[in-house]
Structure 1
Amino acid sequence: MTVQEFAQEINRKSREFSDLIQRKMPIIVGRMAKDHYQDNFRKGGFVNGGLKKWPKAKRQDSGSSAAGANYGTLLSGRNHLFSSTNYTPGAARVRVHNDAKHASAHNFGETIETPVTPKMRRFAWAKYYEAGGGKKNAGNGKRKGKNAGSKEVNKAAEFWKNFALTKKKKLTIKMPVRMFIGESKELNKEILSKQEAEVRKIIES
């Protein structure tokens, strides 16, 4: 190899390294991070030096036969929080984010105060019936009165009935920390390994 050819090779690899840092790695890292964080939802906890399980949602221990009670913590039929995890690559950087309305409250924990509205009470009654707390009259197909029945079918129905009948004007909801995006030793190790592999490819090409 002549001096000129050597200089050309150095320039070529320099351009490849620059492209790796500025364009390729942000996309690669963003994809890896998104996959890692979404996998936290499947595992029901945050992986950082091992799996840190999330506190269970109350609906999971409610005894309800409703479909919602069977979903994992932070999961639902729509999986809105899960699917809102995404990444935005830039020049030599990437931003991993979740733009769902209550993402921060779930990730870091939060105490929320909310007024009890008539709409919320109607919703609570609907959830009460859905949880098995209301029965239909055999004759006319209508549900029994809101106070009918002396025994609640399960904890979920009891919860929603109490919510619908509460005399409180405002509710205080304490959301525990269920981190799904954050610093992760396992993710950092995977990223470093991938970065080294990409650098070796350029050197050996």
Structure 2
Amino acid sequence: MISNDITNSLSRKFIELQKQFDDLTPVLEVVSALIERAISENFDGRGRWDGNENDITIFSGGSQKWKALASSTKEKYQRLGWELEPTLNRSKGLMSTIEVRPQGKSSIVISANSPYAAIHQYGGTLTPTILITSKMRKFFWAKYYNTGLVNWKVLALTKKKELKPVIQIPARPYITLTEEDLEEILELLTNRF
């Protein structure tokens, strides 16, 4: 949990800078770079958040790591020959869409232009519809004969035309700042401007 002291100090500093400068863009560019680095550290560290799934904001930074990959996800990665890279970091796809930039003379915009950005930031439930084709039934039979697991046989014999699995995605907030990040921003603003 980030203390009110640091957020109040930052607010006062920005008010002071707004009085000093007509256009805060140079200040905001420096702050944007620090925020971008902090977000990168969240990916590298496999999460740095407070663990409160009910109130995720940019100020939710802390020392909690993200939940580990589900065993089913790990099995899928191994089956596909993929590395078990850190969560949200295997392809770098999500991280590469994150943009932190000044907007106007007095604000910063943080965006993640990825179709799955929000579900990873906040968590949630997915219920995709998977059509069962004859090719899939053959796959289920092959898995049953290879593993002997009854669930593959059940899938091969099902009369259903589609499956609607319920997939829970845990929150893995990557757009968060820790108290240390905010202190670094405040220190830089105090010393540089």
- 1:16 positional shift: 11
1:30 aligns with 2:44: no
Question: Deviation digits for residues 31-82 of structure 1, max 9, x if unmatched?
Answer: 11111112211111125232x11111123366826442422101223x1101
* Residue of structure 2 in register with 1:56 after alignment: 68
Partners of 1:49 and 1:186 within 8 A in 2? no
Partners of 1:62 and 1:69 within 8 A in 2? no
Rg bigger for which structure? 1
* Residue of structure 1 in register with 2:164 after alignment: 170
Partners of 2:98 and 2:112 within 8 A in 1? yes
When the two structures are superposed, what TM-score results if normalisation uses the length of structure 2?
0.65
Question: Deviation digits for residues 75-100 of structure 1, max 9, x if unmatched?
Answer: 223x1101111113121211112121
Aligned equivalents of 1:62 and 1:89: distance in 2? 40
- 1:109 positional shift: 0.7
Partners of 1:116 and 1:169 within 8 A in 2? yes
Q: List runs of 5+ in structure 2 lacking aligned partners.
A: 1-16, 50-60
Aligned equivalents of 1:198 and 1:15: distance in 2? 15
What amino acid does structure 1 have at the position aligned with 2:120?
H
Q: List runs of 5+ in structure 1 lacking aligned partners.
A: 1-13, 126-144, 153-158, 200-205
Change (3 A) 1:82 1:197: same
Partners of 1:106 and 1:176 within 8 A in 2? yes
1:18 aligns with 2:21: yes
Q: What are the within-5 Å matches in structure 2 for residues 1-205 of structure 1?
A: 17-18=20-21, 22-47=24-49, 48-50=61-63, 52-58=64-70, 59-60=73-74, 64=78, 66-77=80-91, 79-90=92-103, 91-117=105-131, 146=139, 147-148=141-142, 150-152=145-147, 165=156, 167=160, 169-199=163-193
Question: Deviation digits for residues 138-165 of structure 1, max 9, x if unmatched?
Answer: xxxxxxx63346344xxxxxx9x69x85
**Whose relative contact order is higher, 1 or 2, with alpha carbons under 8 Å and at least 6 apart?**
2
When the two structures are superposed, what TM-score results if normalisation uses the length of structure 1?
0.62
Aligned equivalents of 1:176 and 1:92: distance in 2? 34
Aligned equivalents of 1:116 and 1:173: distance in 2? 13
Change (3 A) 1:115 1:28: same
Matched residue SS, 2:62 = coil
After superposition, the CA RMSD in angstroms is 3.5
Aligned equivalents of 2:81 and 2:36: distance in 1? 27
Partners of 1:25 and 1:92 within 8 A in 2? no
Aligned equivalents of 2:75 and 2:47: distance in 1? 17
* Residue of structure 2 in register with 1:4 after alignment: none
